[in-house]
Amino acid sequence: MTGTFISLEGVDGSGKSTQAVMLADALRERGHQVVHVREPGGTPLGEAVREVVLGPDAMSPWAEAFLFAAARAQLVADVVAPALAAGTWVVADRFLDSSLAYQGAARGLGIENVAAVNAPGIGEVMPHLTIVLDIAPGAASDRRAGRGSVDRIEDEGDALQESVAQGYREVARLYPDRVHLVPAAGSLDEVHARVMATVVGNL
Ligand code: Z5A
């Protein structure tokens, strides 16, 4: 990998998507080539998986984990690895740590088990820096209120999101060099300033 890979993580409504756009724009203003991706999605297969995995039909935790892993493997092969090989920066709105927090921790599959399932599809392609936007799930759901469509996982409510938040704290404890918790309370610009300080201070 010659490019730089940054992923943004957090519970639903933590502000990841907004901050990913702001980060990508800030990096472009500094003269970098930037590819911005989101998970699940970013390839035709990934978008098809997104429809299934966030759709209304119930599925087992392992089926869910394998679907996210499949979408991620395709995104790595088609988009992330080629971009990094070309020296481009990649900003990802969710990556492996979402599966570790949601499926590994919150669904109880085990962080190491889910990491192992994802490993063949990811290979050496791991973020250099992962920023977890840390916010109380209740505050995140207030931000989401009134937004309209609710997906199957979001529909499970704040109890699942609380387990996910604990999962992210565990992931940060396991990978302290790569994963950084950034407080997500405050205005968009305040959070963006914290994100940029974390990027500058750790890359
Ligand atoms: N999932 C999984 O289980 N396993 C995996 O491996 C992967 C994903 C990859 C993806 O849903 C779902 O899949 C997600 C995890 C699971 N489900 N849940 N729950 P998605 O892609 O549709 O949604 P999301 O990734 O969770 O993102 P989101 O709902 O779009 O939220 P967000 O990106 O965290 O936040 P946002 O869209 O930037 O902001 C939310 C709102 O808050 C919006 O109106 C903003 O304008 C507002 N906002 C943002 N920042 C602020 C601040 N600072 N102040 C005030 N208001 C703010």
Residue ranges of domains in the chain: 5-202
With a Cβ cut-off of 6 Å, ligand 1 is lined by: 10, 12-18, 39-40, 54, 68, 94, 98-99, 102-103, 143-144, 147, 151, 153-154, 186-188, 191
Residue 47 structure tokens:
């978008």
C-alpha–C-alpha distance, residues 99 and 87, integer Å: 26
Q: Which CATH architecture has domain 5-202?
A: 3-Layer(aba) Sandwich (3.40)
Distance 155 CA to ligand 1 centre (A): 13
C-alpha–C-alpha distance, residues 74 and 58, integer Å: 24
End-to-end CA distance of the chain: 14
Task: For residue 7, list its beta bridge partners.
Answer: 92, 130
Task: For residue 89, list its beta bridge partners.
Answer: 34
- Compute the half-sphere exposure of residue 79: CA atoms within 13 Å on the CB side of its CA: 24
Residue 62 structure tokens:
């392992």
* Percent of the chain surpassing pLDDT 70: 98
pLDDT of 24-64, one tens digit each? 999 999 999 999 999 999 999 999 999 999 999 999 999 99
Query: 10-residue block means of pLDDT along the chain (203 residues)?
Result: 94 96 98 98 98 96 98 98 98 98 98 98 98 92 75 88 97 98 97 98 96
